[in-house]
Amino acid sequence: MKINNINHIDMNHIDFNKFPTTRYQGSKRKLLPWIYENIKNLKFNTVIDIFGGTGSVSYLFKKMGKTVTYNDYLKSNYYLGKALIENNNIYLNSSDINFLLKRHRTIVYSSFVQNTFKDIYFTNPENAWIDMFLTNWNNLSNIYSGNTLTYKKSLAFTVFAQSALKKRPFNLFHRANLNLRLNNVKRTFGNKTSWDGSFKKYFKDFSIEINKIVFNNHRKNTALNFRVFDFGVTKKYDLVYIDPPYINNERSKCEFDYFRLYHFLEGACDNKNWKNRINYKSKNLRIEDNLENKWLSKTENIKAFKNLFNLFNGSTLIISYKEPGMPSKEDLINYLKKYKKRVISVPSIEYNYALNKKNGFHKEYLLIGIN
């Protein structure tokens, strides 16, 4: 099934045109109508999205009126979960935006990004803007407190992250490649106009967007920031949505190491400790993830799947994965059958990434395990 046929799917009362936009690799934003069509008749009230990422699927669950738990081990994504899934009624008002977007005489501003990341990701004036924004962002604690502070900071950082990704070639931080944007050459990819747009304009634009999509589904939703096997299961969920980093069986390594791809955003949201987390020997001054991620290992991810199925054995399980992946679709079905009475294999849907069309179509499939 081609992605351009997706508009023929019955969308019922959910308007997918009003969902959050995203520039995140591996996002399921395009696939939401297809996912919805295949899960809308399942019976569940509570759900956990344990690899929450962009929050697109969690947002779908929230729109469906479910009690949603969003989880992601990246702190930058956790802020998104706080802003759009847990938060029901806090917005960025004009005073917040004005405060965040200008320098204040009473505040001492950091120059860490300017001094550390010169000629790596952004221009010198843009690095200075990032220093200003992050300093102001930290100082929101002088204006707000409690949950209001939490949600205001989460909204503001989510808007900043979207703005930063829009200005990056490939929307990533995997390489020190500012030259791709600045060199005066003919390009066959990307959008130089977007790369050269101002942080200030993008921040204002995304602030308008995020304020429009914050809503209250009258459920107590939660955002968590844990590795999958670290937080433990003290609560039973009716449904568990599993969308782990994808390993292509035909390639030597996992291309979805999100920590490596978005380390700059991880540093930015932990800017007080950023300098102590950087690997200064790396060309792009990345933060190292010092803990083993079993989902990125061809030898360990099979065990991780099995452990996860066992951990949530009492819940309906939905696995979203790609072909050709490791484990294979057939292997995942066989593993899942050991824990579930019934396994539904949803036929694959084809799609491609907007910035990666030369790599052809990807095939995404769903497996649904029911007790």
Q: What is the DSSP string of 238-255?
A: SEEEE-PPP-BTTSSS-S
3-12, 33-42, 184-193: which has the highest mean pLDDT?
33-42
CA dihedral sign of residues 154, 157, 158, 159: positive
- pLDDT tens by residue, 144-168: 999 999 999 999 999 999 999 999 9
Domain ranges of the chain: 3-321
Evaluate if pTM is beyond 0.85: yes
Beta strand pairing status for 316-323 and 362-370? Answer: antiparallel
pLDDT of residue 24: 83
pLDDT at 38 over 70: yes
Structure tokens given for 292: 């083993």
Residue with tokens 């932990």: 270
Q: What is the mean pLDDT of the chain?
A: 90
Q: What burial class does residue 205 get, using C-beta atoms within 10 Å of its C-beta: 0-12 exposed, 13-18 middle, 19+ buried? A: middle
pLDDT at 339 over 50: yes
pLDDT of residue 163: 98
pLDDT at 8 over 50: no
- pLDDT tens by residue, 56-101: 999 999 999 999 999 999 999 999 999 999 999 999 999 999 999 9
pLDDT at 249 over 80: no
CA dist., res. 167 & res. 113, Å (int): 16
pLDDT of residue 217: 96
pLDDT at 291 over 90: no
Percentage of the chain modeled with pLDDT above 90: 75
CA dist., res. 80 & res. 214, Å (int): 11
Give the other-Cβ count within 10 Å of 335's Cβ: 20
